[in-house]
A and B are shown apart, each in its own frame.
Chain A
């Protein structure tokens, strides 16, 4: 069921989403997949999305730390994305630390933390046929007005 955890590419940045039901098997496949993708792509950054994690216990916490450390050893910046406030509180109370890892509230903020920004494509960059004909002064674009 929870076998392979996909490693997605968002531009040069890698993204993995941790689901709640992480098992030993999916953990080792997570490590392998992340490692392979970093080797292949030389990704500058890895975002680990924990939005769906309702519980981060010491087992999952350790996995997150190890995955992050492994990525960092390969020169890949790591950001933990979307940790729920109640999960963060619980982690602190447990005395769990995920060292050297930044956090971000959303995917957008996570991308910004590693130097990328999502921007809407400017419509003028992809002119429509009407725009082109209008700029040529052929009058085709005016006909509809």
Chain B
């Protein structure tokens, strides 16, 4: 498991580089590697912009008959008041385009959010090797 601190833009690049290289090691396809790197880029940016900094843990996962990778983004920012609304297409509290969360969900096999207002946000994404 690799943990990358996320404070600024350079860390966003670091996070997606780490995710891409694990995806490479696990033999994900070219398109899947790009999907993973893009989702990581979105969520790492959310940690910086909305969460005030945090970290991501990147690791491979072995389930019964499946192999894949998981990234868990954690911050201790303001959390999310209404997770369902945050997941909606085009919703943003920052005046940006609001496609990050719903987009990342489509690119990955699984995306789940735990957010407590005032305490922080944890976003987990998983991609399985087909």
Residues on A lying within 8 angstroms of B by beta carbon are 20-21, 23-24, 54-59, 61-62, 84, 86-87, 89-90, 93-96
Contacts and interface: CB of A to CB of B under 8 A. Distances in A.
Contact of B31 (A55, A56, A86): A86
A94 B16 contact: no
Label chain B's interface by main secondary structure. helix
A89 B106 contact: no
**Residue among B20, B34, B97, B99 with most chain A CB within 10 A:** B34
B35 A62 contact: no
Interface residues of B, number: 24
**Residue among B35, B45, B102 with most chain A CB within 10 A:** B35
B45 A59 contact: yes
A58 B99 contact: yes
B30 interface: yes
Contacts of B89: 95
Contacts of A55: 16, 34, 37-38, 41
A93 B107 contact: yes
B81 interface: no
Interface string B4-27: 000001100100100010000000
